[in-house]
Chain A
Amino acid sequence: MHGFANPTRFLTLARWLTPLCFGLGLLLVAGALASGLFVVSPDQLMGETVRILFLHVPFAWLGMGGWSALAVSSLAFLVWRHPLAALAARGIAVPGAVFTALSLITGSIWGRPTWGTWWVWDGRLTSMLVLFFLYCAYIALAQAAAREGVSARIPAIFGLLGAINIPIINRSVVWWNSLHQPPSITMGQSAIAAEFLVPLFVSTAGFSLLFGGIVLARMRALIAETQAEARLRRKAQDFDTEPETA
């Protein structure tokens, strides 16, 4: 892991990994969603709305997984001071917020015909909403720290503290009475029929690759901006120290 903390080595790897993640991710997502829409038969209880789960579940998993990765990157930055770890956390924050928002929206669309309501203030939904607000706060904090030239330690500490919400989201359906169903997939067990499992896993793999591609693209953009800024600063210094010829 430490080897890839070198920006040059990271960029060499990211240059071919970014289009690969986007290409393969799009292909898998297209296949899984087409199968979810046209091949899979309606569920006995949920009817046609079961098809929404091929989007909603990967979005929710990646929203939570995104913050877990953000917390690990923040920890790596705090412990080893790798600047790339701070950039990785910043790269994860935007797709994490988008995927969490999409999980809330698609969940709400699923809830209306299934539960008869768009929203309930229960443990799972509320803790997911809190996760979305945490992402927004992290983005604002990280941008402010970068703009003011303050150390990235403050957003990193916030990223680490926000991870407290992840086990709360995970256990919310067990700890509190909820309209949301209990975990359908646990270690080695699944309450979901095999017919739905295959497109669900393919769609999760596809969205994960797209998520990874977005993170890599955002990290590359952040590195390029930092390098361009450093060059401009050096140029300004050269200009200031140039002897006057007149």
Chain B
Amino acid sequence: MREGLDQWSFVIAAYAVGVAGTLATAAWSWLAMRRAEARRDASRKRRGRKGGGQR
């Protein structure tokens, strides 16, 4: 026996979960990368400044 379920609500739920999950992971990875590279560049600059002062 088949239940009278509205198939479109399941389709929309699956698309919402799938798209939101993918975009959130992509955005989080991108931001984490930018933050880590900014931290590395800042530490490089600090070290460069310190090296310049010693010379």
Query: Chain A residues in contact with chain B, CB under 8 A?
Result: 18, 22, 29, 33, 37, 47-49, 51-52, 55-56, 59, 94-95, 98-99, 101-102, 105-106, 109-110, 112-113, 116, 207, 210, 213-214, 217-218, 220-222, 224-225, 227-228, 231-232, 234-235
Known contacts A33-B19, A220-B36, A228-B40, then 17 further A-B pairs from the complex at CB < 8 Å, ordered by chain A residue: A47-B7, A48-B11, A49-B11, A94-B29, A95-B29, A98-B22, A102-B18, A106-B18, A110-B14, A113-B7, A113-B10, A221-B29, A221-B33, A224-B33, A225-B36, A231-B40, A235-B46
A216 to chain B: closest CB distance in Å? 8
The total of chain B residues at the interface (CB under 8 A) is 31
Q: Contact: A95 with B17, CB < 8 Å?
A: no
Q: In the complex, A6→B25 CA distance in Å?
A: 27
Q: Contact: B30 with A116, CB < 8 Å?
A: no
Chain A residues contacting B33 (CB-CB under 8 Å) are 18, 217-218, 220-221, 224
Contact among A18, A51, A217, A235 for B47, CB-based, below 8 A: A235
Q: Contact: B15 with A33, CB < 8 Å?
A: yes
A94 and B25 in contact (CB under 8 A), knowing A113-B7, A218-B32? yes
Chain A residues contacting B46 (CB-CB under 8 Å) are 235
A235 to chain B: closest CB distance in Å? 6
A50 to chain B: closest CB distance in Å? 9
A29, A95, A228 pick with most chain B CB within 10 angstroms: A228
Q: In the complex, A221→B33 CA distance in Å?
A: 4
Q: Contact: B7 with A224, CB < 8 Å?
A: no
Chain A residues contacting B37 (CB-CB under 8 Å) are 220-221, 224
Q: Contact: A217 with B29, CB < 8 Å?
A: yes
Q: Contact: B13 with A109, CB < 8 Å?
A: yes
Q: In the complex, A109→B43 CA distance in Å?
A: 47
Contact among A37, A210, A222, A235 for B26, CB-based, below 8 A: A210
Q: Which of B1-55 contact A (CB under 8 A)?
A: 2-3, 5, 7-8, 10-11, 13-15, 17-19, 21-22, 25-26, 29-30, 32-33, 35-37, 39-40, 43-44, 46-47, 50
6 contacts between A and B (CB under 8 A): A33-B19, A55-B19, A109-B14, A110-B14, A217-B29, A228-B40
Q: Give the nearest-CB partner of A42 in chain B.
A: B7
Chain B residues contacting A220 (CB-CB under 8 Å) are 33, 36-37
Q: Contact: A214 with B36, CB < 8 Å?
A: no
Q: Give the nearest-CB partner of B47 in chain A.
A: A231
Q: In the complex, A217→B15 CA distance in Å?
A: 24
Shortest 10 CB-CB contacts between residues of A and residues of B:
A224-B36, A48-B7, A55-B18, A221-B36, A217-B29, A228-B40, A224-B40, A217-B33, A221-B33, A52-B14
